[in-house]
């Protein structure tokens, strides 16, 4: 069964020909031709998420896990506008979301009809492409146009620079007419994407530079797990002159590397900084979490900076970019691994990294109950093979302070670093994942995206940890706002609420925790059985920001006794 509208038949036929499997639909009526056709299609797994903002992020979680395009379908009006945040996040995470908005026919815009806004191009700032499909497709050229637009949208979403796309479709009533089978199958189209690689002439100067340089710093930012790249970086990191820094969100799991960038840099005095500064900087992947490395390199780094990306975009994070290398990163990195030279660069910092790891653990335990200790226990005790969804913004920063575990996978919405979709993203991933997905969220992010739990999709793979410190403590950790009297209200949204009734509302088993012992027991409880559970960890009566700063001082002191 499918809609009798040929524009919709073509849309669904092309999307499923290209391989669409997941669709996230929000309730409404204007989109009935699309949603009913998807509902009846045997190849489509359809999930209904009532809140479109949550739906956007839910789909993003599916795309993170499956690396496949996910279609979103909404009705006309502000529904589409609610996709805005997830569109921006998908844009900067390069995830292929296909936003499909049902619209009134274009001729009715601004004429006072219900749920009619200016939808065409509404997401244009943060999509790779947007198209308006045409219902009046009697002319052959229009049919060709509609099908071609869907193909182009799919290809834009899955290109070397993947990302979200937007298809807007004005639909006239009647909307609910279904027919048995498709009248005419569109001619298939596919795209074969070449992998950008440098030839030996292009590579030679880069290989020579690596062989001649004593301090090469590699930094890997946010990206999906890529086995080939992870292995290539692992081999490259064995070179004595190469120091690899990784964020957990880089999902690099091979080789010797410093996975706690801030923890390393915060021990540096001026002289240490100068010793650390490389002659050459190589970056791969997207956004970095560490503010300290950005600040340090912007301040002191004067050498060459190569950025490697298959799509050839040159993000100039440190204001020093010299070489934009449009090449599949694993190929480029592999080509450099023959160029070992004698250097102490990597040994010094790998050793320091290892030493800091043990200092940090003992410091956290010694300082007692606080956010720091909570993260120490969580990062140590979460079972192997779990996927972590790290909330913004304290959570992701705390987790970077502890050694990355190669038996976990790390995700966080660091494309735009918003708090508006962390729960929805985790819910979406959990709805299709084979592993347990653990969301670790601050209280404000959890309350903000509470509608991420409002759905009937499977959530037996989801586990939730809410760290309730009574407000947005991130604003006490970063420099500045703690000096003003208005901060508790304007920056932190300080509160006395907890998540127990919200958990009850959604039928999620709940446990409150306010000590290290109770936390350890609760972590065991959380992963026993096969149902969604929620732990709320209370640290709001603790001076979390003081303990964090004290731990930094303590580590420094023990590292360099006076």
Whether the CB-CB separation of 169 and 34 falls below 8 Å is answered with: yes
The only residue of 66, 116, 159, 267 in contact with a copy of itself, by rule CB under 8 A: 116
178 binds a copy of itself (CB under 8 A): yes
- DSSP H helices, 286-413, are 291-300, 329-336, 345-367, 371-381, 394-399
Number of residues engaging a copy of itself in binding (CB under 8 A):
88
**Least gap, CB of 9 to a copy of itself (angstroms):** 17
Choice between 1 and 204, CB closer to a copy of itself: 1
CB-nearer residue toward a copy of itself: 83 or 375: 83
| Smallest distance, a copy of itself to C-beta of residue 34, A | 10
Give the x-and-dash track for 92-111 against a copy of itself (CB under 8 A): x-----------------xx
| DSSP, residue by residue, 254-286 | SSS-B--HHHHHTT--HHHHHHH--SEEEEESS
Beta carbon nearer to a copy of itself, 79 or 229: 79
- The 272-311 contact track toward a copy of itself, x by CB under 8 A, reads --------------xxxx-x--x-----------------
**What track of x and - describes contact with a copy of itself for positions 20 through 39 (by CB under 8 A)?**
-----x-xxx--x--xx--x
Closest approach of a copy of itself to the CB of residue 147, in Å: 25
Kindly state the DSSP code that residue 248 receives in the 8-state scheme. Answer: G
Site string for a copy of itself, 430-459 (x = CB under 8 A): --------------x--xx-xx--x-x---
Distance between CA atoms of 372 and 551, rounded to whole angstroms?
9
Q: Least distance to a copy of itself from the beta carbon of 208, Å?
A: 29
Strands 178-179 and 2-3 come out as antiparallel
**Residue 221 within binding range of a copy of itself, rule CB under 8 A:** yes
Q: DSSP letters along 73-129, please?
A: EE-SSHHHHTTHHHHHHHHHHT--EEEEEEE--GGGTTTT-TT----TTTTGGG-SE
By CB under 8 A, residue 509 contacts a copy of itself: no
Taking the CA atoms of residue 506, residue 512, residue 518 and residue 522 in that order, the dihedral angle to the nearest 10 degrees is 0
Cα angle 145-151-153, degrees, rounded to a multiple of 5 = 100
Among 14, 20, 44, 79, binds a copy of itself (CB under 8 A): 79
Print burial letters for 419-451: b (CB count within 10 Å at least 16), e (below 16).
Answer: bbbbbbbbbbbbbbbebbbbbbbbbbbbbbbbb
Angle between helices 422-432 and 52-66 (to 10 degrees): 50
Considering the complex, what minimum distance in angstroms separates the CB of residue 377 from a copy of itself? 27
Instruction: Name 414's Cβ contacts closer than 8 Å, sequence gap at least 6.
Output: 93, 222, 249, 286, 287, 289, 392, 396
Nearer to a copy of itself, 523 or 535 (CB): 535
Of 46 and 142, the one with the shorter C-beta distance to a copy of itself is 46
User: Whole-number minimum distance, CB 447 to a copy of itself, in Å?
Assistant: 6
Residues 376-415 binding a copy of itself (CB under 8 A) are 393, 414
| Shortest spacing between CB 62 and a copy of itself, in angstroms | 18
Strand order in the sheet with 22-25: 45-48, 22-25, 70-74, 97-103, 165-170, 129-133
Q: Which is nearer to a copy of itself, 114 or 194 (CB)?
A: 114
C-alpha 128/C-alpha 537 separation (Å) is 40
For a copy of itself, what does the binding mask look like between residues 311 and 350, x meaning CB under 8 A?
Answer: ----xxx---------------------------------
Distance from C-alpha of 390 to C-alpha of 410, rounded to nearest angstrom:
7
Nearer to a copy of itself by C-beta: 158 or 451?
Answer: 451
Q: Could you say which residues in the range 37-56 bind a copy of itself, by CB under 8 A?
A: 39-40, 46, 48, 50-53
Closest CB 402 distance from a copy of itself, rounded Å: 20
Number of C-alpha atoms within 13 angstroms, CB side, residue 210? 24
């Amino acid at each position: 069964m499918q809609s009798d509208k040929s524009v919709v038949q073509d849309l669904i036929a092309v999307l499923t020909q290209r391989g669409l499997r997941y669709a996230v639909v929000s309730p409404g009526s204007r989109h009935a031709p699309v949603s009913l056709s998807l509902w009846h299609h045997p190849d489509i797994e359809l999930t209904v998420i009532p809140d479109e903002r949550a739906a956007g992020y839910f789909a993003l979680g599916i795309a993170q896990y499956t690396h496949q395009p996910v279609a979103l379908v909404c009705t006309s009006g502000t529904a589409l506008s609610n996709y805005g945040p997830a569109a921006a996040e998908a844009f900067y995470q390069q995830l292929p979301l296909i936003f499909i908005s049902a619209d009134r026919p274009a001729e009715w815009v601004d004429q006072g009809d219900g749920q009619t806004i200016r939808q065409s191009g509404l997401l244009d700032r943060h999509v790779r492409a947007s198209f308006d499909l045409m219902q009046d497709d009697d002319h052959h050229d229009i049919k060709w146009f509609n099908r071609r637009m869907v193909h182009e949208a799919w290809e834009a979403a899955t290109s070397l620079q993947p990302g979200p796309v937007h298809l807007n479709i004005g639909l006239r009533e009647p909307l609910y007419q279904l027919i048995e089978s498709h009248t005419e199958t569109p001619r298939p189209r596919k795209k074969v994407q070449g992998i950008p690689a440098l030839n030996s002439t292009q590579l030679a100067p880069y290989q020579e530079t690596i062989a001649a340089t004593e301090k090469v710093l590699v930094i890997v930012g946010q990206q999906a797990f890529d086995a080939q790249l992870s292995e290539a970086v692992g081999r490259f990191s064995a070179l004595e002159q190469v120091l690899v820094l990784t964020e957990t969100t880089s999902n690099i799991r091979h080789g010797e590397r410093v996975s706690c960038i801030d923890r390393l840099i915060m021990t540096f005095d001026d002289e240490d900084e100068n010793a650390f500064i490389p002659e050459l900087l190589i970056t791969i992947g997207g956004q970095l979490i560490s503010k300290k490395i950005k600040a340090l390199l912007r301040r002191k780094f004067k050498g060459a900076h190569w950025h490697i990306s298959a799509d050839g975009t040159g993000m100039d994070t440190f204001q020093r970019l010299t070489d934009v290398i449009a090449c599949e990163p694993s190929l480029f990195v592999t080509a450099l691994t023959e160029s070992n030279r004698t250097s102490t660069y990597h040994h010094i910092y790998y050793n320091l990294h290892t030493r800091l790891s043990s200092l940090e653990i003992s410091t956290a335990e010694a300082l007692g109950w606080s956010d720091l200790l909570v993260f120490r226990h969580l990062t140590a005790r979460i079972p192997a093979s779990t996927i972590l969804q790290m909330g913004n913004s304290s959570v992701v920063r705390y987790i970077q302070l502890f050694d990355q575990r190669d038996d976990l996978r790390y995700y966080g919405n660091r494309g735009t670093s918003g708090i508006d979709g962390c729960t929805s993203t985790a819910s979406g991933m959990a709805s299709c994942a084979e592993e347990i997905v653990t969301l670790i969220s601050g209280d404000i992010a959890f309350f903000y995206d509470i509608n991420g739990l409002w759905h009937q999709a499977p959530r037996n793979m989801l586990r939730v940890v809410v760290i309730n410190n009574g407000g947005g403590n991130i604003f006490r950790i970063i420099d500045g706002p703690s000096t003003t009297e208005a901060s508790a209200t304007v920056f932190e949204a300080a509160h006395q609420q907890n998540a127990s009734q919200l958990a009850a509302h959604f039928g999620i088993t709940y446990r409150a925790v306010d000590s290290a012992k109770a936390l350890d027991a609760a972590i065991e409880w959380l992963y026993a059985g096969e149902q969604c559970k929620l732990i709320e960890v209370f640290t709001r009566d603790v001076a979390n920001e003081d303990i964090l700063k004290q731990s930094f001082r303590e580590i420094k002191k023990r590292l360099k006794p006076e």
